[in-house]
Amino acid sequence: MGYFSPFFICIEAMVLENLLELTLNGMGYELVDVEQSSHGKLIRVYIDKEGGITIDDCVAISNHLNRLLAVENIDYDRLEVSSPGLDRPLKKERDFLRFMGETVKLKLRVPVRGQRNFIGVLREINDGILILEVEGKLFDLDMHNIGKARLVPKL
């Protein structure tokens, strides 16, 4: 049984993420990311909406999710709800579309032109190919090859 446990943990995480995404979308928020501790006792939820997130948003979502998770019988000890921060992660294609023209930091799974790390401006997305401008040069990057992506904060 222990051999298969990572598979079941993965399924449970997917179920939780789908539940949170449906709930938050219905409330006018976007689920940016969910983090769980290895034993699922800490659940950290990052939310966003047009205009940004306030502390009141975090409190309201936290209260709502506490009740939802109890009803859904999801076992946890602590729930944290937060904004994604200035260096917001980009995970879905719609995230990249929303922040077109912004500067991002990317880490690729497989190097392109001998390079895995990029900082550049999002120019466009066509058929799963992201076009990133780095120091005046354009790079065509497969969305499936992006391991991590974050906005570069404007300070």
* pLDDT per residue as tens digits for the range 32-47: 999 988 776 899 999 9
Range 118-137 average pLDDT: 95
Q: Using the 8-state DSSP alphabet, how is residue 33 labeled? A: E
Give me the phi and psi of 39, to 5 degrees please.
-100, 5
**Positions of CATH 2.30.30.100 in the chain:** 93-151
Digit-coded pLDDT (tens) for 71-89:
999 889 999 999 999 999 9
Residue 63's pLDDT is: 97
Instruction: Pick one of 2.30.30.100, 3.20.20.140, 2.60.40.2470, 2.102.10.10 as the CATH number of 93-151.
Output: 2.30.30.100
The model's pLDDT over 17-28, given as tens digits with 9 standing for 90+, comes to 999 999 999 999
Q: Are 82 and 44 in contact (CB under 8 A)?
A: yes
CA distance linking residue 88 with residue 81, whole number of Å: 14
Exposed, middle or buried by CB within 10 Å (0-12, 13-18, 19+), for 53?
buried
Q: Where in the chain is the domain with CATH 3.30.300.20?
A: 2-82
Q: What is the DSSP letter of 89?
A: B
Q: Which CATH number fits domain 2-82: 3.30.420.40, 3.40.50.620, 3.30.300.20, 3.30.160.160?
A: 3.30.300.20
